[in-house]
Structure 1
Amino acid sequence: MFRNVTAIHLHLAGVFQRKKAGTSLARCLHQTFAMAKRLPARRLDGIDHNPWVEFGKMASEYDVVNLGQGFPDFPPPDFAVQAFQNALSSDFMLNQYTKAFGYPPLTKILASFFGKLLEQEIDPLKNVLVTVGAYGALFTAFQALVDEGDEVIIIEPFFDCYEPMTLMAGGRPVFVTLKPSPTQDGELDSASNWQLDPTELASKFTSRTKALILNTPNNPVGKVFSKAELELVASLCQQHDVICISDEVYQWLVYDGHQHVSIASLPGMWERTVTIGSAGKSFSATGWKVGWALGPDSLMKHLRTVHQNTVYHCPTQGQAAVAQSFQHEQLHFGQPSSYFVQLPQAVWRYRDHMVRSLQSVGLRPVVPQGSYFLIADISDFKSKMPDLPGDVDEPYDRRFVKWMIRNKQATSEALRPLCPLLFCEVQDESTLQAMDEKLRKWKDELRP
Structure 2
Amino acid sequence: MTRLQPESSTVLRHSDAPQPVAALLVAAGRGLRAGDGEPKQYRLVEGRPVLAHALTPFLAEPSIARIAVVIGEGDEARYTNAMAGIDSSRLAAPTLGGATRQASVRRGLLALAREGFDGIVLVHDAARPFVSRAQISAAIHRLGAGAIAAIPALPVTDTVKRTSADGHVAETPPRDQLVTVQTPQAFRFKPLLDAHEAAEAALLHGFTDDAALMEWAGHPVATFQGDPANVKLTHAADFLRAAAHPGRTLVTRVGTGYDVHAFGPGDHVWLGGVRIGHDQGVIAHSDGDVALHALTDALLGALADGDIGTHFPPSDPQWRGAASAQFLAFAATRVRERGGRIDFLDLTVVCEAPKIGPHREAIRAEIAAIVGLPLGKVAIKATTSERMGFTGRREGLVALATATIRLPEED
TM score, norm. by length of structure 1: 0.25
Larger radius of gyration: 2
Structure holding more strand per residue: 2
Structure holding more helix per residue: 1
- Which one scores higher on RCO, CA 8 angstroms, separation ≥ 6? 1
TM score, norm. by length of structure 2: 0.26
